Structure formats: C-alpha cells, structure tokens
Amino acid sequence: MKQRRLLSRLFNFAVFIALEIAALQMLTHNAALQRVWVARSAHLFMGKVWGASQGVRSYFSLSETNRELSRENFLLMQELELARESLRDAKTESQDSLSRPGFSMVAAEVVKISRNKQHNYLILNRGYKDGVQEKSGIITPKGVVGIVDAVSENHAYAFSFQNSDISISARLGSEGGSGLLVWDGVRSNGAILKEIPLQYRYQKGDTVYTSGHSLLFPPDIPLGVAGESKVVNGATNEIAITLFQDFSAIRYVSIVHNNSFDEIEQFER
C-alpha cells in the first residue's frame, strides 16, 4: 500500500515535471525574451553544477595534493641541504679545515601532536624500520619542530619545541652571536633567544637561524625574526622571537640525523 502510494507520488511528480517542461518549451518558442532567459538560466545552472562538482572533486583530492607537495618539499629540502653542505665544504676547504659531516633525512607525517601543555610532544609515522634514530632533529622549511626522543618499529616519539625542557642553539643574523632559543611558553609562535652577548648588535626584524653548534640540527635553517629585547643581569641580551613555524598547522616534517652524532658524542663523554 505504502509502496503504491510512493509510486503514485513519483508518477505525479514526473507528470508535473513533464507538464512544466512542455509549458516552458511553448513559452520559449513563442517569446524571444523568455527564450534568452531560459537559455541563460540553463547555462548558469550548468555552470553552477559543474563548478560545484569540480569543487567537490578538488576538495577530495586535497589530501593527495598535500602528500605530493610534502614529498616535493622534502626532496627540495634534501637538495638544499646538499647545496649548503657543498657550500660549507668549499668554504672549509679554502680555509684548509676538515669538511663537516652530513645529515641524513627522512620524510614523516605527524600522527599526533600536543600543543596546550608545558611539555608538548609529537608522534611521527616513521620508526627505526625507516631509519629513524633517537636524538634526531625534526624540521620543516619554516624551522625547527622538535627532537626525537624514542623510536619504535613504525613510530617516533619526539619532544616538541613547545616544551619548556627543550632549547636549541640559534644564531642571530648571518654572522651574529649565538644563544639558546627556548619556547616562551605562551604563544604558539613565540620564543626567546637567551644569552646573546651584549657586544653583538642586532636590529628588530633580523632573522634567527640554527647555529649548527648543536649536533641535532643542520646550520642556517631560518627560525624566526627578532623582536623586543632586554638586558639580563647586565651581561646578556634576551630577545623575543616570532617563529616562522605555526605549530597549529604542522602536518609534514623531515627528520634529520647527524651521521657523525655517535662519533662526536664519544668525545664529549
């Protein structure tokens, strides 16, 4: 009974549409204005339908596009690192020094990230199976993200830079003084560069880079820009830094490991 009623409704609807189309057809055949109007409406409708379907298709392919971009980004970073390394080699060779060891890189995706604690962490989708090792740095083209602390077969657990226990060695400007960069504990893109000797001059807006003094990160990765400063204990400057990296938008990262990490660390023991 219900099915019959439904069928009858569908049939009525079909007849309704057919009658409306017939009326519209007659209208467009007999009036030029209405013909133009119907044609324009039909074009607009088709344009909207095609536009919407294209939008939906693009939306669902965004994930794949992101992955491809991240892969491309990773390859570019690798190339950049190689270029930097050869530049450093050329410099050091000219200075009759020993060449610096390189860094190996692994592309990874952030599986989980905490941002609202004082000791934040990240979990990445790469583990020792992929060549990830403890005490590796995590970077993006916009700066430093964290340090790998523990590695399982398929995942890596890392301390986020937004962690009050983490500090990284950073340099102010291309030739400026080095200090320790720590999270300011408040803003998602705020940091403080500590222990900059007073004799080093700098200006607001100067870029802060990784210094290369730490074994974890390659040098010259841009981290952020300098802001206000204050003198601490009359001996050093403390400078507020606005980081380039927005921690709320991290998805793809690169894990970098210093190939000579163990060798150098043995000297320190």
Partner 1 sequence: MRKKTFWIAYIFLLLVQLIISNYFRFTPYIMLSILPVMVLCISTRLDTLWTMLIAFATGMTVDLLSEGLLGLNALALVPVAFFRNPIIQLIFGKEIFARKEDFTLRSSGFAQVGLALLLAQALFLVLYIWADGAGMRPFSFNLYRFLASLGAGFLLSLLTLNVLVTDSRE
Contact residues for partner 1, defined by CB under 8 A: 8, 11-13, 15-16, 19-20, 22-27, 29-31, 33-34, 36-37, 40-41
Please, what sign has the CA dihedral across residues 154, 212, 239, 208?
negative
DSSP conformation class of 259: T
The answer to whether the CB of 179 falls within 8 A of the CB of 191 is: no
- Distance between CA 93 and CA 99 in Å, rounded? 7
Minimum CB–partner distance for residue 43 and partner 1 (Å): 12
Q: Distance of alpha carbon 161 from its chain centroid, rounded?
A: 14
Minimum CB–partner distance for residue 247 and partner 1 (Å): 49
Minimum CB–partner distance for residue 3 and partner 1 (Å): 17
- Distance between CA 1 and CA 37 in Å, rounded? 43
- 14/198 with CB nearer partner 1: 14
- 10/150 with CB nearer partner 1: 10
Minimum CB–partner distance for residue 29 and partner 1 (Å): 8
Structure tokens at 49: 């339908």
Q: Is 2 helix (H, G, I), strand (E, B) or coil?
A: helix
State the DSSP H helix or E strand holding residue 269, giving kind and residue range, or none if neither: none
Strands 252-258 and 137-140: what pairing?
Answer: antiparallel
- 12/61 with CB nearer partner 1: 12
- 22/69 with CB nearer partner 1: 22
Minimum CB–partner distance for residue 53 and partner 1 (Å): 25
- 40/112 with CB nearer partner 1: 40
